[in-house]
Chains A and B, each alone.
Chain A
Amino acid sequence: MTSEGVTFSVPDAPLRSPSRRHGVTLVFLGPALTVLVLLLVYPVLSSIWLSLTNASLSAGRLETPFVWFDNYAALISDKAAHNALFNTLYFAVVEVVGVVVLGLLTALLLNHPMARWSGFRVLLLLPWAIAPVANAVLWKWIFHSNYGILNSLLVGSGVIEKNITWFGNSFVALNMVLLVDIWKSTPFIAILLLAALQNIPQSLYRAARIDGANGWQSFRYITLPLLKTAIAIAVILQTIWSLRTFDLIFILTKGGPADGTVVMNFLAYRVTFNFLEFGYGAAIANVIFMTSLMLAIIYVRLMKPGALT
């Protein structure tokens, strides 16, 4: 994909005096770094501390009795957390597999000489660009049990006999949310894989054809190996993103029915901002954060050249 990792190209004449150099660094980097520390580093540390307390907000005052690891211990025996964890795992696995497979197929299709028209690519961007909230509202209408177009189409074509209440059953509801999220998330991964596909030199395919390779063999022995890193990056990024799913669940199901669509992220929100248990909410949020952080570290390693080869 790339010949350089996280490296720097320093101009030939760097600033010589160390004190001046520090001044320049401070002016260029200082303000942005201050903002990032205040908005990211401080809150992350603060949320770790909060998770060790029974913080609650009463009459605008924050009470923070320290409880060590009680919140994490509670998490282990909390049925609601088990349910959310199971939903999150199922959601993440199905979404990542669905998005990466469909994204790869879409990228291969749009990389075909017959599909080079740029209109296809604009079309690919649309589900990605549409605002998450508008998207959720749209699918709420599509899935409407009485008047939704999905039921109309399925009944009209004889696939089902009578309307289905898509959000009436926990497992069906979770899968419907997944369907929408896969539809929305596939374009970006397809764009990413398409960019990787276009970095593969055409000469490799020409050489393979001369050697008598068929289409499948070219794909299996040229495309796939060269896409390995990009696919791994796609898997990691999509896993991280799937852990953040919120808007869709909030608008489509509010976590229902019977908590069937409550994932960890939604649970953390509900515990914190509906039940006002800041400490416990922070503990759940930290579990998500740690998982994302580990995935992010793998991602950074993958971006370095030859990470997987």
Chain B
Amino acid sequence: MKKAYGLLKQTGVVLSLVVFVLVAAAPIAWLLLSSVLQQQALISTPPDLSLSSFTLENYTAVFGSAAQLGRGIFNSLVISIATTALAILLGAPAAYALARLDIRHADTILLMVLAAQMFPAIVIAIPLFITASKLGLIDTKINLILIYLSFNLPVVIWVLRGFFTGLPTGLERAARMDGATIYQTFRLVILPISLPPLFAAAIFAFIEAWNEFFFALIMTRQAAQTVPLVISAFAGQYQTVFGQMMAAAAISVAPIIILTIILRNSILRGFADGMLKG
């Protein structure tokens, strides 16, 4: 009796896992599959999955018909890398100060850093748009590089502060006894042992910038358009060429999926924990 119940339970778990895998993976599998199928195969019911329907033409066609995509990828790379570098450069010392120095109003600053991650973008978008218009920054890369700091800098500070707070203080005390200034301690002792969390925070910031759509939609017109905008425009313009639409989507997703798989452990541990703890 007990054994039969156990077997039933195991079957239940296996069935649930099958459902889970299907729900999580099927849409993405369909994205990839559609991107390598010919139009004719896609619009027949059911979709024609015979070997002769497969093609790589969608990908070559996307790059051919969307000169925008090349520029979009270039813009996205420049903007994402620059904003990430700035976020780390400004965020790491700030996080260290918040973790280790005796700062007045530290609670208020931390609260602001935390709340900043939850701001609805629209509330800052309106004044920022007006300011950018006045300064002639609409449709420039530098504009997005700076604006993306509004969400990336808080995240970087938050994640790194959590890490610095958890470090044992022994190393710092030893460095100080050897006569190191706090700047030297930070640069020569703390930063070298913080490379893994720095790297994880950087990748996270990069992904956020790479995927961002709302500000890019408002703040760019042509020259500074990023990948999400190109994809969105492409999907609007060629919305009946399904295979190419999916190929374009696949191109924009690929780097992120690869980064996620490489970094799964830091994402699973670091960020989930960071959202639960103060």
Contacts and interface: CB of A to CB of B under 8 A. Distances in A.
Contacts of A299: 114, 118
Given A123-B24, A292-B119, A293-B115, A8 B93 contact: no
A35 B28 CA distance: 38
A121 B264 contact: yes
B122 A265 contact: yes
A89 to B, nearest CB: 16
Given A13-B176, A141-B246, A237-B275, A152 B124 contact: no
A1 B277 contact: yes
A244 B90 CA distance: 27
A40 interface: yes
Contact of A21 (B102, B106, B269): B102
Interface stretch (A167-175, A189-197, A205-213): A189-197
Interface string B12-30: 0110110011011101101
Given A122-B264, A126-B257, A106 B228 contact: no
Contacts of B140: none
A32 B10 CA distance: 52
Contacts of B269: 195
B120 A289 contact: yes
Given A2-B277, A32-B91, A304-B278, A123 B21 contact: yes
B120 A39 contact: no
B155 to A, nearest CB: 12
Interface stretch (B63-71, B193-201, B208-216): B208-216
Interface in B208-260: 210-211, 213-214, 217-218, 227-229, 231-232, 235, 239, 242, 245-246, 248-250, 252-253, 256-257, 259-260
Interface stretch (A22-30, A73-81, A93-101): A22-30
B257 A292 contact: no
A196 B210 CA distance: 29
B82 to A, nearest CB: 14
Interface residues of B, number: 112
Interface in A1-37: 1-2, 4-15, 21, 24-25, 27-29, 31-33, 35-36
Nearest to A32: B94
A60 B133 contact: yes
Interface string A183-222: 1000110011011100000000000000000010000000
A160 interface: no
Contact of B109 (A33, A35, A127, A133): A33
A125 B267 contact: yes
Majority SS at the chain A contact face: helix
Contacts, number: 324
B276 A2 contact: yes
Given A9-B99, A192-B272, A32 B93 contact: yes
Contacts of A246: 121-122, 213-214
Contact of B14 (A114, A300, A303): A114
A224 interface: no
A71 B111 CA distance: 30
A32 B90 contact: yes
A65 interface: no
A9 B245 contact: no
Contact of A57 (B130, B149, B273): B130
Given A10-B100, A147-B242, 12 more contacts: A21-B101, A24-B97, A24-B101, A28-B186, A32-B94, A35-B153, A44-B124, A46-B127, A115-B13, A132-B213, A233-B275, A247-B214
Interface of A: 1-2, 4-15, 21, 24-25, 27-29, 31-33, 35-36, 39-44, 46-47, 50, 55, 57, 60, 62, 106, 109-110, 112, 114-115, 118, 120-134, 136-142, 144, 146-147, 149, 152, 155-156, 183, 187-188, 191-192, 194-196, 215, 229-230, 233, 237, 240, 243-244, 246-247, 250-251, 265, 268-269, 272-273, 278, 281-282, 285-286, 288-289, 292-293, 295-296, 299-300, 303-304
Interface of B: 9-10, 13-14, 16-17, 20-21, 23-25, 27-28, 30-31, 34, 42-43, 45-47, 90-91, 93-94, 96-103, 106-107, 109-116, 118-131, 133-134, 146-147, 149-150, 153-154, 157, 165, 169, 172-173, 176, 182-183, 186, 207, 210-211, 213-214, 217-218, 227-229, 231-232, 235, 239, 242, 245-246, 248-250, 252-253, 256-257, 259-261, 264, 267-269, 271-273, 275-278
